[in-house]
């Protein structure tokens, strides 16, 4: 009988800017344009260097959606010598690769051409679908139009980009909406085969947001949704939960395959009040299952060669390092 495996990635979280064109009702990530609203190259490089020394393999680049559309942002970016935030993340991705970390970018809505360009320097990419429902929380967020998000996820499939997506539960959607969202993701994967993992993320109320008094999903509701995801999604798509947002030990047995990116260095900037568990805590969460480290690009996509030639040496090197660590633990 095979022992069940639960995976995770060791990463550094790099929020290049929290300026965002969306105004989601549940979000505390978004901030106004001001001096210092963009992470400086020096700060990014220091974080990459420290992360590499701690054994991290993934550089998770995130930023607010279409920050260039926010008045004043272009002037702040120009101070760093850039006209486009995507040029900035491209160069920083190269810096990450040089230091031995694989970039994974979650930049919000991107065009086909933008995805194609960033694919050159990213081992994987991501965008949360969140929900297919039209909800009040997204009323002031044009980038959260489900059709726009579905189109981007489909474009990633057309480009053979190993991709992360997911649903956010408790933001005003119904159980039927959750089922529909998972079915949409399933159908996209059946068509293109590019969905590595689907995150089932529970809403956590944040002070100072319009939804600060909204009820958070309970454990039973999260369990039911995880089970639904595992039932709907193909077996080769991992179901992931963020281990810092709920009592993960109570959820594992309901179909969880992966615990996502966990950092020994940086905080969860989207949920700063929720610290990451450390590796030993993840072992407790995994229970009787084997806890296994992975890269941000899943093994099946390495085997298929779904990455740019620029990334091949580093992917092979890190995959061998992780495999060697596993052999050492089993010795």
What is the reported pLDDT for 14? 96
Position 268 scores a pLDDT of 59
Q: Which pLDDT does position 263 carry in this prediction? A: 85
CA distance 187 to 168: 19
Query: Which pLDDT score is estimated for 331?
Result: 39
Known binding positions for [4Fe-4S] cluster: 20, 24, 27
- Which pLDDT score is estimated for 215? 94
pLDDT given at position 96: 98
Is residue 124 within 8 A of residue 164, CB to CB? The reply is yes
Q: Are 246 and 203 in contact (CB under 8 A)?
A: no
Q: Give the Cα separation of 110 and 16 in Å (integer).
A: 16
Binding residues: 20, 24, 27
For residue 30, report the phi and psi dihedrals to the nearest 5 degrees: -70, 135
Note the pLDDT tens digit of each residue in 12-62.
999 999 999 999 999 988 899 999 999 999 999 999 999 999 999 999 999
Task: Output the pLDDT for position 203.
Answer: 93
How much is the pLDDT for 243?
87
Between the CA of residue 81 and those of 41, 86, 213, what are the distances in Å?
11, 13, 42
Domain 5-330 classification at class level: alpha beta
pLDDT at residue 5 in the model? 95
3-state secondary structure of 36: coil
Q: Which residues of 83-99 are buried (b: 16+ CB within 10 A; e: fewer)?
A: eebbebbbebbebbbeb
- For 239-250, the pLDDT digits (tens) are 999 988 888 999
pLDDT at residue 279 in the model: 81
Pick out the chain residues at pLDDT < 70: 1-2, 267-276, 326-331
The token pair that represents 187 in the structure block: 């159908």
β-pairing verdict for 58-63 and 195-202? unpaired
| Whole-number Å distance between alpha carbons of 175 and 137 | 17
Distance CA 274, CA 260 (A): 15
Q: What is the pLDDT of residue 276?
A: 64
* Three-class SS state of 173: coil
Residues paired with 164 in a beta bridge: 126, 197
């Amino acid at each position: 009988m095979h022992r069940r495996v639960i995976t995770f990635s060791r990463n550094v979280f790099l929020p290049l800017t929290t300026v965002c064109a969306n105004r989601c009702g549940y979000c505390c990530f978004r901030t106004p344009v001001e001096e210092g609203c963009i992470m400086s190259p020096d700060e990014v490089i220091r974080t990459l260097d420290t992360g590499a020394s701690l054994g991290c393999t993934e550089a998770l680049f995130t930023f607010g959606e279409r920050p260039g559309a926010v008045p004043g942002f272009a002037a702040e970016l120009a101070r760093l010598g850039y006209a486009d935030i995507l040029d900035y993340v491209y160069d920083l991705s190269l810096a990450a690769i040089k230091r031995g970390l694989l970039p994974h970018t979650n930049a919000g809505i991107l065009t086909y051409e933008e995805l194609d360009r960033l694919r050159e320097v990213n081992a994987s990419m991501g965008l949360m679908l969140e929900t297919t429902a039209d909800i009040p929380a997204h009323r002031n967020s044009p980038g959260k139009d489900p059709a726009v998000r579905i189109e981007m996820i489909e474009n990633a499939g057309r480009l053979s980009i190993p991709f992360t997506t997911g649903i956010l539960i408790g933001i005003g959607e119904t159980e039927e909406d959750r089922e529909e969202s998972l079915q949409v993701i399933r159908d996209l994967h059946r068509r293109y085969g590019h969905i590595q993992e689907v995150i089932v993320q529970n809403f956590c109320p944040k002070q100072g947001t319009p939804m600060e008094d909204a009820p958070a999903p309970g454990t039973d509701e999260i369990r039911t949704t995880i089970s639904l995801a595992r039932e709907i999604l193909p077996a080769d798509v991992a179901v992931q939960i963020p281990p810092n947002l709920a009592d993960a030990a109570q959820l594992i047995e309901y179909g969880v395959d992966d615990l996502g990116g966990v950092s020994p260095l940086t905080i969860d900037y989207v949920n700063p009040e929720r610290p990451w568990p450390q590796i030993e805590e993840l072992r407790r969460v995994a229970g009787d299952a084997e806890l296994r480290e992975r890269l941000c690009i899943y093994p099946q996509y390495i085997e298929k060669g779904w990455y740019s030639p620029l990334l091949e040496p580093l992917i092979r090197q890190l995959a061998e390092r992780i495999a060697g660590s596993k052999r050492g633990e089993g010795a």
